[in-house]
Amino acid sequence: MTNKKQTEWSPYKSKWKTAEEKNLDVGIENKDNILYLGASSGTTVGYISKLTLGLIFAVENSPKMAISLVKLAEKSKNIAPIFSDARDTKHLKKSMFNKKINILFQDIPSTDQVEILVNASKLVNKECKILFSLKTQSISQQNPKKTLEEVKSKLEKYFNIIKFKDLEPFHKKHYFFVLRKKT
């Protein structure tokens, strides 16, 4: 853990910036509260925290990354770090103290990404904008377009898909969805 210099917000490292470069609507209003699943060391979270006055809840599962997140939260003014598994919705609900969430962002590479998203979407209401970054290689090693079709059919039961795109040339075999809840 060395002293980090201020690096550029590069689309090769951060999925949020890639989505912005590809003209998917990831704009932040002035007073938005954000729930960010999969925060890791907090590079993207640090850039986002300067664009809004609301709170950012950053969730991370591994202890080494969470130590860097807590250090970042002590310096900045609107980041609340949560060290827990993203599947544990009870603890997440307890730590958020009934704040209204405007944007939900998920970037977790695991086999059950879609199930985590469906569970976490029960914490937000119908007006919330949901941004989902899909890594097809962690679900299966088959043709990525076939995995994309399977994921789309699962998502259409619970969400309205507004836009989706692939993230070439910055990230390979990744897709990005903009969703809204149905009910």
How many amino acids of this chain bind other proteins (CB under 8 A)? 24
* Smallest distance from other proteins to CB 70, Å: 6
Is residue 73 at the binding interface for other proteins, with CB under 8 A as the rule? yes
Q: Which two tokens stand for residue 2?
A: 């060395």
Nearer to other proteins, 33 or 133 (CB): 33
> Contact, 96 vs 124, CB < 8 A?
no
* Smallest distance from other proteins to CB 171, Å: 26
- How far, CA to CA in Å, does 61 sit from each of 41, 86, 171? 11, 7, 23
* Smallest distance from other proteins to CB 123, Å: 15
Is residue 67 at the binding interface for other proteins, with CB under 8 A as the rule? yes
Is residue 39 at the binding interface for other proteins, with CB under 8 A as the rule? no
Is residue 116 at the binding interface for other proteins, with CB under 8 A as the rule? no
> Contact, 116 vs 158, CB < 8 A?
no
Per-residue binder mask for other proteins (CB under 8 A), 45-64, x = binder: ----------x-x-----x-
- Rounded to whole angstroms, how far apart are CA atoms 38 and 84? 10
- The number of angstroms, rounded, from the C-alpha of 113 to the middle of its chain's C-alpha atoms is 11
CA dihedral 143, 146, 150, 151 (to 10 degrees): 60
The strand pair at 34-37 and 103-106 is best described as parallel
- The site for other proteins (CB under 8 A) is made up of 1-3, 55, 57, 63, 66-67, 69-71, 73-74, 78-84, 95-97, 99
